[in-house]
Amino acid sequence: MKLKTNLKKLIIGCCSAIAFVNASQAQSLPNVVVIMADDLGPGDVSAFHKRYSNKPVQAPTPNIDQLVAEGMSFTDAHSPTALCAPSRYSVMTGNSTYRGYTPWGVWSSFAKTAVTPEDATIGRVAQQAGYQTAFVGKWHLGGTFHTKQGKVYQGPKTGPKTKNIDFTKWVAGNPAELGFDYDYTVPTGVQGPLYFAYENSQWAPLSKDSKIIFVDKDTALDPKFVSDKGPGMGDSAWDARKLNMQLADKAVDFIKRSAGDKPFLLNYWSPAVHIPHTPPKQIDGKAIAGTTPTHHLDMNRVLDIEVKRIIDALKATGEYQDTLIIFTSDNGGLSDRKANKFGHNSPAQFRGNKNTAFEGGHRVPFIAVWPGKIKANTTNDTLVNGTDIVATLANLMGVKLNAQQAKDSWNILPTLLGQPYQARQLLMAQAGSKNELILREGPWKLIIKSNYKVTKREPFALFNLQDDLSEKTNLINNPEFKARADDMFKRYWQIRESGQRTAPAM
Protein backbone atom coordinates (compact mmCIF):
# COMPACT_ATOMS: atom_id res chain seq x y z
CA MET A 1 0.00 0.00 0.00
CA LYS A 2 1.43 3.34 -1.04
CA LEU A 3 0.25 6.84 -0.21
CA LYS A 4 0.63 9.65 -2.70
CA THR A 5 3.89 11.41 -2.07
CA ASN A 6 3.39 14.42 -4.28
CA LEU A 7 1.52 16.41 -1.64
CA LYS A 8 0.80 20.01 -2.38
CA LYS A 9 2.46 22.61 -0.22
CA LEU A 10 0.75 22.92 3.13
CA ILE A 11 -1.22 26.12 3.55
CA ILE A 12 -0.79 27.70 6.98
CA GLY A 13 -4.05 27.34 8.91
CA CYS A 14 -5.53 24.83 6.50
CA CYS A 15 -4.00 21.89 8.33
CA SER A 16 -3.23 19.98 5.16
CA ALA A 17 -6.73 19.69 3.77
CA ILE A 18 -5.35 18.02 0.64
CA ALA A 19 -6.11 14.31 0.99
CA PHE A 20 -3.27 11.84 0.97
CA VAL A 21 -5.41 9.30 -0.85
CA ASN A 22 -8.36 9.10 -3.20
CA ALA A 23 -11.58 7.74 -1.74
CA SER A 24 -12.32 5.95 -5.02
CA GLN A 25 -9.27 3.79 -4.42
CA ALA A 26 -10.52 2.25 -1.18
CA GLN A 27 -8.48 -0.88 -1.72
CA SER A 28 -5.29 1.14 -1.18
CA LEU A 29 -6.40 2.58 2.16
CA PRO A 30 -5.35 1.21 5.54
CA ASN A 31 -7.72 -0.38 7.99
CA VAL A 32 -8.49 1.77 11.01
CA VAL A 33 -9.00 0.68 14.61
CA VAL A 34 -10.02 3.33 17.15
CA ILE A 35 -9.87 2.11 20.74
CA MET A 36 -11.27 4.36 23.44
CA ALA A 37 -11.00 3.33 27.08
CA ASP A 38 -13.34 4.55 29.81
CA ASP A 39 -11.85 6.59 32.69
CA LEU A 40 -8.28 5.64 31.85
CA GLY A 41 -5.71 8.23 32.87
CA PRO A 42 -2.17 8.51 31.48
CA GLY A 43 -0.79 7.04 34.70
CA ASP A 44 -2.78 3.85 34.08
CA VAL A 45 -0.52 2.99 31.14
CA SER A 46 2.58 1.48 32.68
CA ALA A 47 4.87 2.91 29.98
CA PHE A 48 3.70 6.40 30.93
CA HIS A 49 3.84 5.64 34.65
CA LYS A 50 7.55 4.96 34.25
CA ARG A 51 8.03 8.39 32.68
CA TYR A 52 6.82 10.34 35.70
CA SER A 53 7.32 7.99 38.65
CA ASN A 54 10.15 5.87 40.00
CA LYS A 55 7.73 3.72 41.99
CA PRO A 56 7.00 0.14 40.92
CA VAL A 57 4.25 -0.49 38.39
CA GLN A 58 1.24 -2.01 40.15
CA ALA A 59 -0.84 -2.93 37.10
CA PRO A 60 1.34 -3.74 34.07
CA THR A 61 -0.16 -2.96 30.66
CA PRO A 62 2.33 -4.70 28.34
CA ASN A 63 0.09 -4.64 25.28
CA ILE A 64 -0.72 -0.94 25.49
CA ASP A 65 2.96 -0.39 26.21
CA GLN A 66 3.73 -2.20 22.97
CA LEU A 67 1.57 0.33 21.12
CA VAL A 68 3.68 3.06 22.72
CA ALA A 69 6.84 1.29 21.57
CA GLU A 70 5.59 0.80 18.02
CA GLY A 71 3.99 4.19 17.51
CA MET A 72 3.69 7.83 18.53
CA SER A 73 2.41 8.95 21.93
CA PHE A 74 1.24 12.48 22.67
CA THR A 75 2.23 14.33 25.84
CA ASP A 76 -0.41 17.08 25.55
CA ALA A 77 -3.52 15.05 24.70
CA HIS A 78 -6.98 15.82 26.05
CA SER A 79 -10.52 14.52 26.13
CA PRO A 80 -13.25 16.95 25.06
CA THR A 81 -14.69 16.88 28.58
CA ALA A 82 -13.83 15.40 31.96
CA LEU A 83 -16.84 13.07 31.80
CA CYS A 84 -17.75 10.28 29.42
CA ALA A 85 -21.14 10.96 27.81
CA PRO A 86 -20.38 14.47 26.48
CA SER A 87 -16.90 13.36 25.40
CA ARG A 88 -18.40 10.54 23.36
CA TYR A 89 -20.54 12.94 21.37
CA SER A 90 -17.48 15.07 20.63
CA VAL A 91 -15.18 12.19 19.70
CA MET A 92 -17.85 10.73 17.43
CA THR A 93 -18.61 14.00 15.60
CA GLY A 94 -15.54 16.22 15.91
CA ASN A 95 -17.72 18.90 17.52
CA SER A 96 -17.30 20.46 20.95
CA THR A 97 -20.06 19.40 23.33
CA TYR A 98 -21.72 22.81 23.37
CA ARG A 99 -22.73 22.33 19.74
CA GLY A 100 -25.18 19.58 20.71
CA TYR A 101 -28.65 20.22 22.05
CA THR A 102 -27.51 19.09 25.51
CA PRO A 103 -23.96 20.39 26.10
CA TRP A 104 -23.45 18.40 29.29
CA GLY A 105 -24.15 15.07 27.65
CA VAL A 106 -26.89 12.59 26.80
CA TRP A 107 -26.95 10.22 29.76
CA SER A 108 -30.19 8.31 29.33
CA SER A 109 -30.67 5.52 26.81
CA PHE A 110 -34.14 6.97 26.22
CA ALA A 111 -32.98 10.49 25.35
CA LYS A 112 -32.67 11.72 21.79
CA THR A 113 -29.10 11.49 20.55
CA ALA A 114 -27.31 14.81 20.07
CA VAL A 115 -25.76 13.57 16.81
CA THR A 116 -27.73 14.96 13.86
CA PRO A 117 -28.15 13.42 10.41
CA GLU A 118 -25.98 16.25 9.03
CA ASP A 119 -23.04 15.58 11.34
CA ALA A 120 -19.94 13.80 10.16
CA THR A 121 -19.16 10.80 12.36
CA ILE A 122 -16.34 8.29 12.55
CA GLY A 123 -18.62 5.70 10.96
CA ARG A 124 -20.14 7.93 8.26
CA VAL A 125 -16.75 9.16 7.10
CA ALA A 126 -15.47 5.59 6.75
CA GLN A 127 -18.62 4.42 5.00
CA GLN A 128 -18.31 7.25 2.49
CA ALA A 129 -14.77 6.06 1.74
CA GLY A 130 -15.99 2.53 1.07
CA TYR A 131 -14.99 0.94 4.38
CA GLN A 132 -16.72 -1.88 6.19
CA THR A 133 -17.54 -0.34 9.55
CA ALA A 134 -18.22 -1.66 13.03
CA PHE A 135 -18.94 -0.28 16.47
CA VAL A 136 -18.29 -2.49 19.49
CA GLY A 137 -18.57 -1.40 23.11
CA LYS A 138 -20.09 1.32 25.26
CA TRP A 139 -22.40 3.83 23.55
CA HIS A 140 -23.78 6.48 25.94
CA LEU A 141 -25.03 8.65 23.09
CA GLY A 142 -28.75 8.23 23.77
CA GLY A 143 -31.29 6.37 21.69
CA THR A 144 -34.92 5.65 20.98
CA PHE A 145 -37.03 2.76 22.26
CA HIS A 146 -40.75 2.16 21.86
CA THR A 147 -43.27 1.18 24.47
CA LYS A 148 -45.07 -2.12 24.03
CA GLN A 149 -47.87 -0.04 22.50
CA GLY A 150 -45.53 1.27 19.79
CA LYS A 151 -45.02 4.81 21.11
CA VAL A 152 -41.65 6.53 21.66
CA TYR A 153 -40.63 6.31 25.31
CA GLN A 154 -38.98 9.42 26.75
CA GLY A 155 -39.52 8.97 30.46
CA PRO A 156 -37.21 8.18 33.40
CA LYS A 157 -34.34 5.79 32.76
CA THR A 158 -35.35 3.60 35.66
CA GLY A 159 -38.50 2.88 37.66
CA PRO A 160 -41.87 1.19 37.02
CA LYS A 161 -42.56 2.97 33.70
CA THR A 162 -39.57 1.32 32.06
CA LYS A 163 -41.20 -2.10 32.46
CA ASN A 164 -43.58 -1.10 29.64
CA ILE A 165 -40.76 -0.66 27.10
CA ASP A 166 -40.10 -3.10 24.28
CA PHE A 167 -36.41 -3.77 24.83
CA THR A 168 -36.09 -6.28 22.02
CA LYS A 169 -35.40 -3.56 19.46
CA TRP A 170 -33.31 -0.38 19.61
CA VAL A 171 -35.35 1.77 17.23
CA ALA A 172 -33.17 4.82 16.54
CA GLY A 173 -30.17 6.79 17.75
CA ASN A 174 -28.21 3.56 17.40
CA PRO A 175 -24.85 2.78 15.77
CA ALA A 176 -26.48 1.95 12.42
CA GLU A 177 -27.75 5.53 12.15
CA LEU A 178 -24.26 6.88 12.78
CA GLY A 179 -22.57 4.92 10.01
CA PHE A 180 -21.78 1.48 11.37
CA ASP A 181 -22.60 -1.57 9.26
CA TYR A 182 -22.23 -3.88 12.23
CA ASP A 183 -22.45 -3.28 15.95
CA TYR A 184 -22.40 -5.08 19.27
CA THR A 185 -23.26 -2.44 21.80
CA VAL A 186 -23.96 -1.97 25.50
CA PRO A 187 -25.97 1.27 25.69
CA THR A 188 -24.37 2.61 28.88
CA GLY A 189 -21.37 0.37 29.28
CA VAL A 190 -20.81 -1.54 32.47
CA GLN A 191 -22.56 0.90 34.77
CA GLY A 192 -26.13 0.74 33.49
CA PRO A 193 -28.95 1.11 33.43
CA LEU A 194 -29.62 -0.41 30.85
CA TYR A 195 -28.13 -3.85 31.49
CA PHE A 196 -28.49 -5.19 27.94
CA ALA A 197 -26.34 -5.97 24.92
CA TYR A 198 -27.56 -5.22 21.39
CA GLU A 199 -26.35 -6.63 18.10
CA ASN A 200 -27.38 -4.72 15.00
CA SER A 201 -30.11 -2.94 16.99
CA GLN A 202 -31.64 -6.17 18.25
CA TRP A 203 -31.47 -7.44 21.83
CA ALA A 204 -28.65 -9.98 22.02
CA PRO A 205 -29.48 -12.35 24.90
CA LEU A 206 -26.44 -13.10 27.03
CA SER A 207 -27.48 -16.72 27.59
CA LYS A 208 -29.93 -19.19 26.12
CA ASP A 209 -32.06 -18.73 29.24
CA SER A 210 -31.95 -14.93 29.27
CA LYS A 211 -35.06 -13.03 30.24
CA ILE A 212 -35.81 -9.32 30.38
CA ILE A 213 -36.06 -8.39 34.05
CA PHE A 214 -35.71 -5.46 36.41
CA VAL A 215 -32.09 -5.76 37.55
CA ASP A 216 -31.49 -4.69 41.14
CA LYS A 217 -29.46 -6.03 44.03
CA ASP A 218 -32.04 -8.76 44.63
CA THR A 219 -32.25 -10.01 41.03
CA ALA A 220 -28.70 -9.48 39.76
CA LEU A 221 -26.35 -12.42 39.51
CA ASP A 222 -24.15 -10.42 41.87
CA PRO A 223 -25.14 -7.20 43.70
CA LYS A 224 -21.85 -5.65 42.51
CA PHE A 225 -23.22 -5.64 38.97
CA VAL A 226 -25.69 -2.91 39.92
CA SER A 227 -23.65 0.25 39.87
CA ASP A 228 -24.05 3.57 41.62
CA LYS A 229 -26.21 4.60 38.66
CA GLY A 230 -28.89 2.36 40.10
CA PRO A 231 -31.15 -0.53 39.12
CA GLY A 232 -32.94 -0.78 35.81
CA MET A 233 -34.17 -3.09 33.10
CA GLY A 234 -31.76 -5.65 31.75
CA ASP A 235 -30.78 -9.16 30.81
CA SER A 236 -31.15 -11.72 33.59
CA ALA A 237 -27.72 -13.10 32.63
CA TRP A 238 -25.92 -9.72 32.88
CA ASP A 239 -22.45 -10.51 34.21
CA ALA A 240 -20.08 -7.55 34.43
CA ARG A 241 -17.15 -9.92 35.00
CA LYS A 242 -17.59 -11.36 31.50
CA LEU A 243 -18.57 -8.22 29.63
CA ASN A 244 -15.17 -6.96 28.50
CA MET A 245 -14.08 -10.25 26.98
CA GLN A 246 -17.46 -10.66 25.28
CA LEU A 247 -16.92 -7.31 23.61
CA ALA A 248 -13.32 -8.12 22.69
CA ASP A 249 -14.43 -11.40 21.12
CA LYS A 250 -17.04 -9.58 19.01
CA ALA A 251 -14.33 -7.20 17.83
CA VAL A 252 -12.10 -10.14 16.91
CA ASP A 253 -14.95 -11.78 15.00
CA PHE A 254 -15.48 -8.61 12.98
CA ILE A 255 -11.77 -8.38 12.12
CA LYS A 256 -11.70 -12.00 10.98
CA ARG A 257 -14.83 -11.54 8.85
CA SER A 258 -13.62 -8.29 7.34
CA ALA A 259 -10.01 -9.10 6.53
CA GLY A 260 -9.46 -8.96 2.80
CA ASP A 261 -9.34 -6.51 -0.09
CA LYS A 262 -11.81 -3.98 1.31
CA PRO A 263 -10.56 -1.88 4.24
CA PHE A 264 -12.42 -1.92 7.52
CA LEU A 265 -12.90 0.45 10.43
CA LEU A 266 -13.44 -0.85 13.95
CA ASN A 267 -14.54 1.69 16.55
CA TYR A 268 -14.01 -0.11 19.87
CA TRP A 269 -15.14 1.74 22.98
CA SER A 270 -14.32 -0.38 26.02
CA PRO A 271 -16.28 0.05 29.27
CA ALA A 272 -13.04 -0.47 31.23
CA VAL A 273 -12.06 0.93 33.67
CA HIS A 274 -15.35 2.53 34.75
CA ILE A 275 -17.01 1.45 38.00
CA PRO A 276 -18.30 -1.00 39.08
CA HIS A 277 -14.90 -2.68 39.08
CA THR A 278 -15.74 -6.35 38.63
CA PRO A 279 -12.64 -8.17 37.39
CA PRO A 280 -13.03 -11.85 36.51
CA LYS A 281 -11.14 -14.45 38.51
CA GLN A 282 -9.12 -15.34 35.44
CA ILE A 283 -8.81 -14.78 31.71
CA ASP A 284 -7.30 -17.46 29.48
CA GLY A 285 -6.10 -19.29 32.56
CA LYS A 286 -4.30 -16.29 34.05
CA ALA A 287 -5.42 -14.90 37.40
CA ILE A 288 -6.85 -11.37 37.28
CA ALA A 289 -8.98 -10.46 40.32
CA GLY A 290 -6.84 -9.70 43.35
CA THR A 291 -3.54 -9.57 41.46
CA THR A 292 -3.12 -5.82 42.02
CA PRO A 293 -3.77 -3.59 45.07
CA THR A 294 -7.31 -2.66 43.93
CA HIS A 295 -10.04 -3.98 41.67
CA HIS A 296 -9.67 -0.76 39.71
CA LEU A 297 -6.12 -1.75 38.83
CA ASP A 298 -7.27 -5.30 38.12
CA MET A 299 -9.50 -3.76 35.45
CA ASN A 300 -6.49 -1.99 33.95
CA ARG A 301 -5.16 -5.46 33.26
CA VAL A 302 -8.49 -6.50 31.73
CA LEU A 303 -8.38 -3.54 29.34
CA ASP A 304 -4.85 -4.47 28.35
CA ILE A 305 -6.01 -7.98 27.47
CA GLU A 306 -8.82 -6.49 25.34
CA VAL A 307 -6.16 -4.60 23.41
CA LYS A 308 -4.10 -7.80 23.09
CA ARG A 309 -7.00 -9.71 21.55
CA ILE A 310 -7.59 -7.01 18.95
CA ILE A 311 -3.90 -6.74 18.07
CA ASP A 312 -3.53 -10.53 17.91
CA ALA A 313 -6.50 -10.72 15.53
CA LEU A 314 -4.96 -8.08 13.27
CA LYS A 315 -1.71 -10.00 13.17
CA ALA A 316 -3.36 -13.40 12.69
CA THR A 317 -5.27 -12.10 9.66
CA GLY A 318 -2.22 -10.38 8.19
CA GLU A 319 -3.83 -6.95 8.58
CA TYR A 320 -1.66 -5.40 11.29
CA GLN A 321 0.89 -3.84 8.94
CA ASP A 322 -1.90 -2.13 7.00
CA THR A 323 -3.79 -0.76 10.00
CA LEU A 324 -3.81 2.65 11.65
CA ILE A 325 -4.54 2.22 15.36
CA ILE A 326 -5.55 5.11 17.60
CA PHE A 327 -5.79 4.50 21.33
CA THR A 328 -7.18 7.05 23.79
CA SER A 329 -9.62 7.57 26.69
CA ASP A 330 -12.91 9.43 27.13
CA ASN A 331 -11.67 11.43 30.12
CA GLY A 332 -8.96 11.58 32.75
CA GLY A 333 -8.14 8.97 35.35
CA LEU A 334 -10.03 7.95 38.47
CA SER A 335 -9.29 8.84 42.05
CA ASP A 336 -8.11 5.72 43.90
CA ARG A 337 -6.63 6.51 47.30
CA LYS A 338 -5.75 2.90 48.01
CA ALA A 339 -3.82 2.64 44.76
CA ASN A 340 -2.11 5.96 45.56
CA LYS A 341 -0.64 4.38 48.70
CA PHE A 342 1.12 1.88 46.47
CA GLY A 343 2.49 4.60 44.20
CA HIS A 344 -0.12 4.39 41.44
CA ASN A 345 -1.81 7.59 40.31
CA SER A 346 -4.22 7.28 37.38
CA PRO A 347 -3.95 10.96 36.34
CA ALA A 348 -0.14 10.63 36.48
CA GLN A 349 1.58 13.83 37.60
CA PHE A 350 -1.41 16.05 36.91
CA ARG A 351 -3.66 17.76 39.44
CA GLY A 352 -7.22 16.50 39.77
CA ASN A 353 -8.95 13.54 38.23
CA LYS A 354 -12.06 12.61 36.25
CA ASN A 355 -14.85 15.19 36.56
CA THR A 356 -12.54 18.10 37.44
CA ALA A 357 -11.39 21.07 35.38
CA PHE A 358 -7.77 20.53 36.35
CA GLU A 359 -5.46 18.72 33.94
CA GLY A 360 -6.01 15.35 35.57
CA GLY A 361 -9.66 15.54 34.58
CA HIS A 362 -9.01 15.69 30.84
CA ARG A 363 -5.40 14.66 30.17
CA VAL A 364 -5.57 11.28 28.48
CA PRO A 365 -3.35 8.75 26.74
CA PHE A 366 -3.29 9.26 22.96
CA ILE A 367 -1.27 6.76 20.95
CA ALA A 368 -1.16 6.23 17.19
CA VAL A 369 0.41 3.22 15.46
CA TRP A 370 0.76 2.58 11.73
CA PRO A 371 3.68 0.28 10.99
CA GLY A 372 6.06 1.73 8.45
CA LYS A 373 4.21 5.06 8.31
CA ILE A 374 4.28 6.44 11.86
CA LYS A 375 7.76 6.45 13.34
CA ALA A 376 8.02 3.95 16.18
CA ASN A 377 8.76 4.84 19.79
CA THR A 378 8.29 8.58 19.32
CA THR A 379 6.66 11.25 21.46
CA ASN A 380 4.90 14.36 20.24
CA ASP A 381 4.08 17.49 22.27
CA THR A 382 1.44 18.75 19.82
CA LEU A 383 -1.83 19.81 21.50
CA VAL A 384 -4.43 17.22 20.47
CA ASN A 385 -7.98 16.39 21.42
CA GLY A 386 -10.39 13.50 20.98
CA THR A 387 -12.34 15.64 18.53
CA ASP A 388 -9.40 15.44 16.13
CA ILE A 389 -10.09 11.84 15.12
CA VAL A 390 -12.89 12.67 12.66
CA ALA A 391 -10.93 15.18 10.53
CA THR A 392 -7.84 12.98 10.64
CA LEU A 393 -9.75 10.00 9.28
CA ALA A 394 -11.48 12.15 6.67
CA ASN A 395 -8.10 13.36 5.42
CA LEU A 396 -6.66 9.85 5.46
CA MET A 397 -9.63 8.47 3.54
CA GLY A 398 -10.00 11.32 1.07
CA VAL A 399 -13.44 12.33 2.34
CA LYS A 400 -14.44 15.98 1.93
CA LEU A 401 -16.16 17.52 4.96
CA ASN A 402 -18.35 20.60 4.62
CA ALA A 403 -17.90 23.74 6.71
CA GLN A 404 -20.69 22.73 9.10
CA GLN A 405 -19.14 19.39 9.99
CA ALA A 406 -16.47 18.51 12.56
CA LYS A 407 -16.08 22.16 13.52
CA ASP A 408 -13.54 21.49 16.26
CA SER A 409 -11.61 18.66 14.64
CA TRP A 410 -8.00 19.24 13.57
CA ASN A 411 -6.50 16.92 11.01
CA ILE A 412 -3.39 15.57 12.75
CA LEU A 413 -2.40 13.13 9.99
CA PRO A 414 0.55 15.27 8.87
CA THR A 415 2.14 15.30 12.31
CA LEU A 416 1.57 11.55 12.61
CA LEU A 417 3.47 11.05 9.37
CA GLY A 418 6.24 13.51 10.20
CA GLN A 419 5.00 16.10 7.71
CA PRO A 420 4.96 19.90 8.23
CA TYR A 421 2.05 20.73 10.48
CA GLN A 422 0.28 23.84 11.74
CA ALA A 423 -0.74 22.74 15.24
CA ARG A 424 -3.80 23.94 17.07
CA GLN A 425 -3.24 26.71 19.59
CA LEU A 426 -6.78 26.89 20.94
CA LEU A 427 -8.83 24.24 22.72
CA MET A 428 -12.29 24.58 24.24
CA ALA A 429 -13.28 21.91 26.72
CA GLN A 430 -15.53 21.22 29.70
CA ALA A 431 -15.14 19.69 33.13
CA GLY A 432 -17.89 17.73 34.82
CA SER A 433 -20.62 18.04 37.41
CA LYS A 434 -19.51 21.50 38.57
CA ASN A 435 -20.15 22.74 35.02
CA GLU A 436 -16.78 24.41 34.58
CA LEU A 437 -15.67 25.48 31.11
CA ILE A 438 -12.10 25.51 29.84
CA LEU A 439 -10.22 27.58 27.28
CA ARG A 440 -6.65 26.71 26.38
CA GLU A 441 -4.55 29.13 24.31
CA GLY A 442 -0.96 28.02 23.89
CA PRO A 443 0.35 27.49 27.42
CA TRP A 444 -2.48 29.51 28.99
CA LYS A 445 -5.50 27.83 30.53
CA LEU A 446 -8.62 29.63 31.76
CA ILE A 447 -11.26 27.88 33.87
CA ILE A 448 -14.72 29.48 33.85
CA LYS A 449 -17.39 28.84 36.44
CA SER A 450 -20.90 28.40 35.10
CA ASN A 451 -24.19 26.72 35.91
CA TYR A 452 -25.87 23.95 33.97
CA LYS A 453 -27.74 26.31 31.65
CA VAL A 454 -24.68 28.59 31.40
CA THR A 455 -26.69 31.63 32.47
CA LYS A 456 -24.13 32.47 35.14
CA ARG A 457 -20.47 32.70 34.26
CA GLU A 458 -17.27 34.09 35.71
CA PRO A 459 -13.52 33.53 35.33
CA PHE A 460 -12.33 31.21 38.08
CA ALA A 461 -8.72 30.25 37.48
CA LEU A 462 -5.84 31.09 35.16
CA PHE A 463 -2.73 28.94 34.82
CA ASN A 464 0.41 29.07 32.72
CA LEU A 465 1.00 25.38 32.02
CA GLN A 466 4.43 26.01 30.58
CA ASP A 467 5.65 27.28 33.96
CA ASP A 468 3.14 25.53 36.20
CA LEU A 469 2.02 22.18 34.80
CA SER A 470 0.87 21.10 38.27
CA GLU A 471 -1.56 24.07 38.41
CA LYS A 472 -0.45 25.21 41.85
CA THR A 473 -0.51 28.96 41.19
CA ASN A 474 -3.84 30.52 40.24
CA LEU A 475 -3.08 33.81 38.50
CA ILE A 476 -6.69 34.99 38.19
CA ASN A 477 -6.35 37.66 40.89
CA ASN A 478 -2.87 38.76 39.87
CA PRO A 479 -3.18 42.30 38.39
CA GLU A 480 -0.38 41.50 35.96
CA PHE A 481 -2.53 38.87 34.25
CA LYS A 482 -6.00 40.43 34.58
CA ALA A 483 -6.05 41.64 30.98
CA ARG A 484 -5.13 38.19 29.69
CA ALA A 485 -7.85 36.52 31.75
CA ASP A 486 -10.44 39.05 30.62
CA ASP A 487 -9.41 38.67 27.00
CA MET A 488 -9.60 34.86 27.12
CA PHE A 489 -12.97 35.02 28.87
CA LYS A 490 -14.39 37.27 26.15
CA ARG A 491 -12.88 35.13 23.40
CA TYR A 492 -14.42 31.94 24.79
CA TRP A 493 -17.91 33.41 24.68
CA GLN A 494 -17.41 35.10 21.35
CA ILE A 495 -16.46 31.77 19.77
CA ARG A 496 -19.19 29.82 21.49
CA GLU A 497 -22.02 32.25 20.88
CA SER A 498 -21.05 32.91 17.26
CA GLY A 499 -20.95 29.21 16.44
CA GLN A 500 -17.74 29.69 14.44
CA ARG A 501 -15.33 26.87 13.77
CA THR A 502 -12.24 26.43 15.92
CA ALA A 503 -10.57 24.13 13.38
CA PRO A 504 -9.69 24.83 9.73
CA ALA A 505 -12.35 23.79 7.23
CA MET A 506 -11.44 20.80 5.10
* Cβ–Cβ under 8 Å, residues 131 and 26: yes
How many other β-carbons are positioned within 10 Å of the β-carbon of residue 458?
A: 9
**What count of other Cβ atoms lies within 10 Å of the Cβ of residue 414?**
20
Tell me, yes or no, whether 301 lies in a domain. Answer: yes
Residue 228 CB coordination number (10 Å): 8
Q: What's the total number of domains in the chain?
A: 1
Nearest to 122 by CA among 394, 469, 442, 492: 394
With contact defined as beta carbons under 8 Å apart, do 123 and 131 qualify? Answer: no
pLDDT score at 18: 35
Is 478 contained in some domain?
no
Nearest to 210 by CA among 242, 239, 179, 244: 239
Q: What angle do CA 138, 193, 99 make, to 5 degrees?
A: 55
Per-residue HEC secondary structure of 110-154 comes to CCCCCCCCCCCCHHHHHHHCCCEEEEEEECCCCCECEECCCCECC
Choose among 379, 411, 390: nearest CA to 504.
411
Give how far Cα 371 sits from Cα of 1, 48, 67, 311, 325, Å: 12, 21, 10, 13, 10
Q: Which H or E run contains 488?
A: helix 482-498
Query: With contact defined as beta carbons under 8 Å apart, do 17 and 250 qualify?
Result: no
In a domain, residue 493? The reply is no
In angstroms, the CA 28 to CA 396 distance is 11
Which phi and psi (to 5°) does residue 388 adopt? -75, -10
Query: Is position 277 within any domain?
Result: yes
Q: What is the pTM of this model?
A: 0.94
**In degrees, to the nearest 5, what angle opens at C-alpha 343 toward C-alphas 337 and 346?**
60
Q: Which domain holds residue 328?
A: 23-424
Question: Can you tell me the distance from the alpha carbon of 206 to that of 196, in angstroms, rounded to the nearest whole number?
Answer: 8
Q: Considering the domain boundaries, does residue 446 fall inside one?
A: no
Residue 135 CA to residue 154 CA, distance in Å, equals: 25
Q: Is residue 501 part of a domain?
A: no
Q: Running DSSP on this structure, what letter comes out for residue 377?
A: T
pLDDT tens digit sequence for 140-158? 999 999 999 999 999 999 9
Nearest to 351 by CA among 271, 447, 269, 439: 447
Question: How far, in Å, CA of 299 to CA of 290, rounded?
Answer: 10
Q: Assess if residue 324 is contained within a domain.
A: yes
Contacts of 501 (CB under 8 A, 6+ apart): 403, 407, 408
Evaluate whether 238 touches 225 at the Cβ level (below 8 Å). yes
Cα 176 from Cα 330, distance rounded (Å): 21
**How far is residue 372's CA from residue 321's CA, in Å, rounded to a whole number?**
8
> Element (H or E) spanning 216, and its range?
none
Residue 459 domain-assigned (yes or no): no
**pLDDT at position 296, please?**
97
The rounded Cα 383 to chain-centroid distance in angstroms is 17
**C-alpha 116: how far from chain center:** 19
For residue 497, give the amino acid letter: E
Angle between helix axes 62-70 and 295-316 (nearest 10 degrees) is 50
Q: How far apart are alpha carbons 484 and 193 in whole angstroms?
A: 44
pLDDT < 50 positions in the chain? 1-25
DSSP 85: H
Give the CATH number for residue 281.
Answer: 3.40.720.10
